[in-house]
Structure 1
Amino acid sequence: MTPHPHPHLTLPETRARAIPAVLLRTPYDLRHHLPEARAWTTRGFAAVLQDVRGRHTAADTGTWHPYRSEAADTAATLRWMREQPWSDGRIVTVGASYAAYCALTAALGDHSGPAADDPAGRPDAVIAAVPALGPAETAREPSGAERLLGRAGWWAAHGDRADSDPAALDRALASDPRLLEHLPVTTLPERLGRPLPSWPALWHTGPRDLLVSRAPAARPPLLAVGGTRDPFAADTLRLWRAWGGPARLLLGPWGHALTANPAPEARAAHRINLGGLYVRWARAALDGTLAAGRRGAVALGDSPHWYAPDPAPPTVSRPFGHPEGLRLLHGGDFLADPGHPVRSDRLDIPAHRAPDRALLLTPPLPRPLDLFGPAEARLRATADTPAADWFVRLTALDPRGRAQPLALGTARRADPAGRSAEFTVPLGHLARRLAPGTRLRLEIAGHHFPAHARNPHTGEDPVTATRLLPSYRSVRMDGSALLLATGPGRRVNPVQENCT
């Protein structure tokens, strides 16, 4: 029986026996992946491409509901593939972003029906690049802060339609530059001029980590690929750490498009041939030659090297208000005004009559410093509203004063108004070499707009609120600090480390 939707099959030109296969399911038009399919077939694999239900070549198969049918549809396609005469029964599911979700849900999804435990509906190995692990993970930060700009762009381009319009949000913003300021957030479709019935429901998608919570039970090998500049980098790392079977990690100085989107700190040694790596890894995974446990390689930006991820890296503390730590420039007391929020699209510090953020700075580094591992800010702070978001942005200033982003973290708090609270803001995994003379700048603010929706400070849901109030904040120097992991450990070859 042919699965629903219909797959596109590419086979090697010559084959004398049954062969392994790869499956890529995507909402972004399978025709964009035809060169990728041919590359797999030249290396002896069958390649099956499939548009998800209701999209592009599968537009006639129903209405697309993001994330809803992928587990069942992927399992059905896997069973169909194993029934074909060219199949030797071994299959790798592959994909990036939403397609990575499709690849993963075949191994981890909550399949329903009588075939739920049928191994024919599960892959033998998974390659998940920049995985978008679910609607809850893509819509919100772990703290709960809403990822407004990214989701508005994605839904405008792809949501509730059979095709795609990647420039939809850009056109709308050109017509109305203040488009994302209008409230409530749920009325965005009206301003885009087309219906998006799934947009309001996106913000109420249930709990996070449904896939990650199942990862410890996973047995197929996993290759998780991410970029330190990718918004889903933290999810890539969490998935790799939780996976129960052999797990490999490749994390480079890239954005969401990986090697096609290198960061300024990328070097020649970071130009990995991902296609070649995927094939070599897939063969090792299917042949059972991957060692058990977790291994991987993380690139150190602004250096030519790759290192093994360190589960317990050494950490240094930069206390606030200390000459060798972070000196307060201004804003120990500041106003977080959603009517005039701190912008996510600007790294300069605009002049204000009253501070809109706490701004701290380290002395220039006397020698090179390698930041490699998790970073966090530990804050002792107060808000005069019971609802408050805290955004912490870490930036590197080179000796000429030019700024490069290093990390961003968020915390959503509901402390009693005016009561001092101590809390931690995770800043993700850093992998950067800083040159002598570099200074670290830390900003602590109440907003990060338009990347994130504005907290109205009223206790109302930020996506349905129509009323905004300012929030007065205070950051105490005593008890606050920036914690940085330093000193990468074992240097590795990224291909060898991931394929053995």
Structure 2
Amino acid sequence: MAIVGRLVDRLFGLPEVPSPGIHVRRDLRVPMPDGVALIADLYRPRGTGPMPVVLMRTPYGKRQPVMRLFAGVLVRRGFQVVIQNVRGVLGSGGEFHAFHNEKDDGLATLKWLRAQPWCDGKVAMVGASYLGFTEWAIAPYADPPLEAMGLGITASEFVSSFYPGGALALHNTLVWSSLMGTQDDGKRPLHNRRVRQAMRHLPVGEADTAAIGRPESFLREVTAHAEPDGFWEATDHSAAVPGTTTPTTMVTGWWDLFLRGQLRDFVALHEAGRQARITIGPWGHDTKALRAIVSDQVSWLNAHLNGDKAQLRQAPVRLHLQKADRWLDFDQWPPPETRPTPVYLGRSLVWDGPPETDPATFTYDPLDPTPSVGGPLLSPGKGKQRDNTRIERRDDVVVLTGAPLDDDLDVIGPVSATIHARTSTGQGDLFIRLCDVDRDGVSRNVTDGILRIGTGGVVRAEIEMHPTAYRFLRGHRLRVMLAGGAFPRFARNHGTGEPAARAVASRRTRFEILRDKDHPSAVHLPVWDG
């Protein structure tokens, strides 16, 4: 076991420590107020008395290899760890409804832990993705507060990631629902061929049966409530973030689907004067972020449970500037040293004021939806930067390119776009992507965003794009692509106004993109001169 421990520490980039004996108690039954019992495993150093607990609550199974490895990492450093399966998952009682039960069940678990003879009353939480959400479901409401929180690639609310800009995030929703719907099968289809083919299924509210052969509750709930109706309100903990006093560390990546939400959480904590830090690396929602998450959370627990603050850095924000191979430290997000700079859409991209140009037009066909590559996707190997050239050649997109850059251009912070548009159907999804065109003419995506527009007439569309820290190298060119969708990352807009879950019929939608002095369409870049 000592050899295995050393190998695991090396895998996560951690300094080696002596390996104490580990005592494991399986399948502890944690009672909930409604009589349901949730099961948990306890890992602790042998021969120790009451001590703090590090809690992890998971929907993926407490005996997953990565969970057991992380528990071993923590126990070797003197912590005791409880890993609990959430309601309705792999032996825990009740029925799983994603995100809905984590507040009440989490607070009941916290109360139970503090009453155990092997707990000294202090509890911290760590985790990533859904596990991080379970932390936000507890931390703002815990009394007394948690001792520390470690949050990886997660956010206090996931609803904005289900429907970014009002469009249904089909790819990520179907991939995750297929994973959850097959947990008891032993074989989990993260992104197999059947799931990919099911993304084309109509109506989209029944894509689960095409993907895994049976209904799955999460897919049904997300598609049924794509139009705002309050269904997800109780799962949104973002309003409680500023009042959360627990010391908090965060890790995320420029290609993570929860990046925008996690940055909003960090800003809320920082502006409220809370103790918080964040690291943003060149990662997606994948195992490449895991090493940074483990190292970050170990150091935070050491500081706040063991009093070892020697490894804590001073800067609240540490980020990786992509294509420059540099890590930068800042006092806040977004960095105050940046200047907002518009790049205007004309016949090309121009920097020196709105041009006077006729509208650009394209037509979106839901039966042949504009495809998309790359971006913040769940599937391994499918996200991040990809060659966009094939899509840019289609006749259902508008492509505008700038002149070669005279110098490197560093962009750090939130990115947005203001697009003046009109559609033939009075509705549609407006997708915009900013790309980096290299000296060989290869166009790779840097950031993008989507917005569902409507009401008829000319619409001023304010589109929130993915934040970034990116260096456009000298001699490269900026390129903007506009389209009526990005399939299957987002479900197609049928142009009929029918609810997403049931829509089958479709209408083609013609888009006009206005780009004159009265309608200055532009992408707004946070340019850093450091």
Report whether the alignment pairs 1:310 with 2:310.
no
1:377 maps to 417
CA shift at 1:450, angstroms? Answer: 0.3
CA RMSD across the alignment = 2.9
CA separation of 1:481 and 1:428: change in aligned 2, threshold 3 A: same
CA contact (8 A) 2:205 2:500 kept: no
Q: 1 CA distance for matches of 2:195 and 2:287?
A: 26
Q: Percentage identity across aligned positions?
A: 28
Aligned to 2:350: 325
Question: 1:188 is matched with which residue?
Answer: 207
Does the C-alpha gap of structure 1 residues 466 and 332 become closer, same or farther in structure 2, counting only changes over 3 Å? same
- Indicate the residue corresponding to 1:487 in structure 2: 528
Structure 1's 408 and 330: CA in aligned 2 closer, same or farther, altered over 3 A? farther
Are the structure 2 counterparts of residues 273 and 340 from structure 1 closer, same or farther at C-alpha, using a change threshold of 3 Å? Answer: closer
Match status 1:53 vs 2:87: yes
Q: Distance in 2 between matches of 1:296 and 1:135?
A: 23
Evaluate the alpha carbon distance shift between residue 323 and residue 196 of structure 1 in structure 2; reply closer, same or farther with a 3 A threshold: closer
Whether the aligned pair in 2 keeps the contact of 1:64 and 1:161 (CA below 8 Å) is no
Q: Given the alignment, which residue of 248, 261, 267 partners 1:241?
A: 267
Shift of 1:197: 4.1
1:66-111 deviation per Cα after TM superposition (whole angstroms, max 9, x unaligned): 12221122222222222233323222111111111111111136xx
TM-superposed deviation, 1:138: 3.7
Summarize deviations over 1:36-55 as a string: whole Å, max 9, x none.
00111111111111111221
Match of 2:137 among 102, 105, 123: 105
Q: How many angstroms does 1:488 deviate by?
A: 6.4
- Equivalent residue, structure 2, for 1:166: 188
| Native 8 Å contact 1:40 1:47 kept in 2 | yes
Secondary structure of 2:346's counterpart equals coil
In the other structure, the counterpart of 1:463 is 501
Q: Which amino acid aligns with 2:201?
A: H
* Equivalences for residues 325-344 of structure 1 within 5 A: 325=350, 332-344=360-372
Name 1:413's counterpart in structure 2. 453
Query: Which residue does the alignment assign to 2:57?
Result: 25
1:281 counterpart = 2:306: no
Contact 1:331–1:355 (CA under 8 A) maintained in structure 2 = no
Q: What TM-score comes out, normalization by structure 2 length?
A: 0.79
Q: Does 1:131 align with 2:182?
A: no
- The offset of 1:14, in angstroms, is 4.9
CA separation of 1:331 and 1:407: change in aligned 2, threshold 3 A: farther
**Structure 2 CA distance for aligned equivalents of residues 180 and 367 of structure 1:** 42
Deviation sequence 1:372-421 (CA, Å, 0-9, x none): 111111112211122211100111111112232211111111132xx222
Match of 1:250 among 279, 287, 299: 279
Specify the code of the residue in structure 2 equivalent to 1:233: L
Aligned residue in 1 for 2:70: 36
Listed as ranges, the gaps of 5+ residues in structure 2 are 1-28, 32-36, 226-230, 374-386
Shift of 1:18: 3.6
TM alignment of 1:323-472, pairs within 5 A? 325=350, 332-345=360-373, 347-350=388-391, 355-416=395-456, 419-472=457-510
